[in-house]
Chain A
């Protein structure tokens, strides 16, 4: 009989090390997986982790890593505040979609204006769109104590169908032969979020993400709000006595994470995706949950975790094309990362006791 016994004082060094151990374990287990599939495991692991960063075509991949990492990091930053306070926004994907749709709609209403105000208006509308979408579960939780996990998750599907309705209806490109797509933002200068330096992958969203990492770090470590968040998560009762209003906390945490997800959606749709389509959401909102936890809910950790996950996405495509590996094997590999993170986490916080009987 194996029993888990909580460790009284989990080692701080081990807590910091868990993500690294998880990555190493993933490399080993992944290597075994790839060799079972008849590929050279060292070559496969090298292609995933090394080639995108320092390999032959890394000049291109490095930019792509930033493109993939930016929305993950931006959304995860927002989520991390709520997660710390025990408020579970699982619907960032829906807020991402709503941010993109509302922001795009605000822009398209001004088409074909070339005013410099077009993009800021879109950005504000997108951010507000994501925020309002996240405030629905917040309101229902405050008013009726409805579970925010379920409500926010269900609203993802509502958002997706709203998107489908918009691109086949009001926001459809009138010159697009009835195809379910909006006008291209890439081809409309005032509303586009282009690569700022050719080949670098850096767009406004990447810069904004970096800025937000710094802001989040300062808020979390230096600001009273960060203190309240940490307090609410670690000791809700103490937080209450300390004057933290739990309802306000719910509204702020959900609203904030929704706002950042919405902003990420707007940057994505005007930049890398280029236009609204039913296929533009790539699951960043869900993957960001992994990023938030892999990064230990800490801004710097999230930055690193987002980059790491982006590397596995870009590298995953590299080995798929070069080693003819099925996509599913790469998804298994990426899934292992979260699995090992959780497993190592358990071992850090608990010790195994082997006992006879019960």
Chain B
């Protein structure tokens, strides 16, 4: 009897160890999201990227995610927890996770971190972002052509360079085809708050906007646009299901190729810290299908713009461009360099209002 027990315990141990060895074969990857995966915008697309990693690597990886993680102290805990549970690669997908990511990365030098939209790197922290402004140029071009009230409404989240860049790029593209165009901007100070986003959309419509753009994560504004019979663009995700009539096109973030590439690098042991800023050319920014409401000539010119940006022959910020106060920024034919774009904190000439300071 005693012998049997010993044997069984031994067998259990062997099975247990076998199981552990098997578990260690899998590369664990964690994802931290700022909104719910069901936001059908920003976090949703990051989660699509996670699923693409699972599809691409199958049994070789194991992914986990935590959604709606507040930026700040809580996110640090969530990342630490992932690292403690054996994650080898952690994607932190909001700007506000920047310092927490750096803090946790210091404690876990063997874990690789990928922080979206930030500017602080370390030996085991890469940053990545998409050139969303390229997409803004294309939808700004469409909006400038399509607006009848010559007023575009813009729901902005936080007055950080990324958001200001998007406003400037949209405005420049719209103004290029419609010199009378005006842009109304509402700051909501949140990435994801369907209630506030909807209120902002309503306020913009009351101010005469007949096309809404947004730099927030939920389809709330699209829903309002559909109700009020005006036009809007999908943001981060296509959002067609929320505004079948309202939606003109969309800027879609496609993180899948990058996530697969970085996962492969970790598996191969070739991962290196770096900064990736990819755009339409690399497929990280995609333009959603054009609605039938867009006239054929506008479709053609928008496609040409998109193709030009992809080919590198067109840059969203090409001079002559003055700053809002009238001082010159870019001379005729000059294009903006990445350094200036990364720290952009001014409006271009023609935009009304002030950046909240």
Q: Which residues of A contact B (CB under 8 A)?
A: 57, 60-61, 64, 67, 164-165, 168-169, 172, 177-180, 184, 186, 268, 272-275, 277-280, 282, 314, 317-318, 320-322, 324, 326-328
B161 A178 Cβ-Cβ under 8 A: yes
Distance in angstroms between the alpha carbons of A168 and B164 in the assembled complex: 13
Given A178-B159, A280-B72, A282-B70: A321 in contact with B81 (beta carbons within 8 A)? yes
Q: Which residues of the partner chain A approach B84 to less than 8 Å between Cβ atoms?
A: 57, 60
B77 A64 Cβ-Cβ under 8 A: yes
Taking CB atoms and an 8 Å cut-off, the chain B residues in 87-111 that contact chain A are 95-96, 99, 103
Q: Which residues of B contact A (CB under 8 A)?
A: 30, 36-38, 64-74, 76-78, 80-82, 84-85, 95-96, 99, 103, 119, 158-161, 164, 189-190, 342-343, 345, 356-357
Given A57-B85, A180-B160, A321-B78: A164 in contact with B73 (beta carbons within 8 A)? no
Q: Which residues of the partner chain A approach B74 to less than 8 Å between Cβ atoms?
A: 282, 317
B345 A277 Cβ-Cβ under 8 A: no
CB distance from A84 to the nearest CB of B (A): 31
B99 A274 Cβ-Cβ under 8 A: yes
Distance in angstroms between the alpha carbons of A61 and B85 in the assembled complex: 12
Distance in angstroms between the alpha carbons of A314 and B71 in the assembled complex: 15
B30 A168 Cβ-Cβ under 8 A: no
A317 B36 Cβ-Cβ under 8 A: no
Given A321-B66, A328-B36: A169 in contact with B72 (beta carbons within 8 A)? no
A324 B96 Cβ-Cβ under 8 A: no
Q: Which residues of the partner chain B approach A278 to less than 8 Å between Cβ atoms?
A: 158, 189-190
14 pairs from A and B in contact (CB 8 Å cutoff): A60-B81, A64-B77, A168-B158, A168-B356, A178-B343, A180-B160, A274-B72, A274-B99, A277-B72, A317-B69, A317-B78, A321-B66, A324-B65, A326-B38
A272 B73 Cβ-Cβ under 8 A: yes
Given A164-B189, A326-B36, A327-B36: A177 in contact with B345 (beta carbons within 8 A)? yes
CB distance from B155 to the nearest CB of A (A): 16
Q: Which residues of the partner chain A approach B95 to less than 8 Å between Cβ atoms?
A: 179
CB distance from B129 to the nearest CB of A (A): 13
B contact face: mostly helix, strand, loop, or mixed: mixed
Given A179-B160, A277-B72, 16 more A-B residue pairs with CB atoms under 8 Å apart are: A57-B84, A60-B81, A168-B159, A178-B164, A178-B343, A178-B345, A180-B159, A272-B72, A278-B158, A278-B190, A279-B70, A279-B96, A322-B64, A326-B67, A327-B68, A328-B36
Distance in angstroms between the alpha carbons of A33 and B296 in the assembled complex: 52
B65 A321 Cβ-Cβ under 8 A: yes
Chain A CB within 10 Å, residue with most, of B85, B158, B161, B343: B158
Residue ID in chain A nearest B36 by CB atoms: A327
Distance in angstroms between the alpha carbons of A318 and B345 in the assembled complex: 39
Chain A CB within 10 Å, residue with most, of B67, B73, B76: B73
Q: Which residues of the partner chain B approach A268 to less than 8 Å between Cβ atoms?
A: 73
Distance in angstroms between the alpha carbons of A272 and B119 in the assembled complex: 21
Residue ID in chain A nearest B33 by CB atoms: A327
* Among candidates A64, A168, A282, A328, residue contacting B357 with C-beta atoms closer than 8 Å: A168
Q: Which residues of the partner chain A approach B160 to less than 8 Å between Cβ atoms?
A: 177-180
Distance in angstroms between the alpha carbons of A275 and B96 in the assembled complex: 11
Chain A CB within 10 Å, residue with most, of B36, B70, B161, B189: B189
Q: Which residues of the partner chain A approach B69 to less than 8 Å between Cβ atoms?
A: 317
Q: Which residues of the partner chain A approach B96 to less than 8 Å between Cβ atoms?
A: 277, 279
Distance in angstroms between the alpha carbons of A280 and B73 in the assembled complex: 8
A180 B158 Cβ-Cβ under 8 A: yes
B64 A324 Cβ-Cβ under 8 A: yes
Chain A CB within 10 Å, residue with most, of B66, B95, B159: B66
Distance in angstroms between the alpha carbons of A30 and B81 in the assembled complex: 23
CB distance from A194 to the nearest CB of B (A): 12
8 nearest CB pairs, A to B: A272-B73, A178-B345, A279-B71, A327-B68, A57-B84, A168-B356, A320-B66, A177-B343
Q: Which residues of the partner chain A approach B67 to less than 8 Å between Cβ atoms?
A: 320, 326-327
Q: Which residues of the partner chain B approach A324 to less than 8 Å between Cβ atoms?
A: 64-65
Q: Which residues of the partner chain A approach B190 to less than 8 Å between Cβ atoms?
A: 278
A275 B99 Cβ-Cβ under 8 A: yes
Q: Which residues of the partner chain A approach B85 to less than 8 Å between Cβ atoms?
A: 57, 321-322
Q: Which residues of the partner chain A approach B30 to less than 8 Å between Cβ atoms?
A: 321
Distance in angstroms between the alpha carbons of A324 and B65 in the assembled complex: 7
Residue ID in chain A nearest B68 by CB atoms: A327
CB distance from B87 to the nearest CB of A (A): 9
Q: Which residues of the partner chain A approach B158 to less than 8 Å between Cβ atoms?
A: 168, 179-180, 278
CB distance from B176 to the nearest CB of A (A): 26
Residue ID in chain B nearest A328 by CB atoms: B36
Q: Which residues of the partner chain B approach A321 to less than 8 Å between Cβ atoms?
A: 30, 64-66, 78, 81-82, 85
Q: Which residues of the partner chain B approach A275 to less than 8 Å between Cβ atoms?
A: 99
B72 A314 Cβ-Cβ under 8 A: no
CB distance from A212 to the nearest CB of B (A): 21
Given A164-B189, A274-B99, A317-B66: A57 in contact with B81 (beta carbons within 8 A)? yes
Given A178-B159, A178-B161, A322-B64: A317 in contact with B81 (beta carbons within 8 A)? yes
CB distance from A282 to the nearest CB of B (A): 5
A318 B71 Cβ-Cβ under 8 A: no
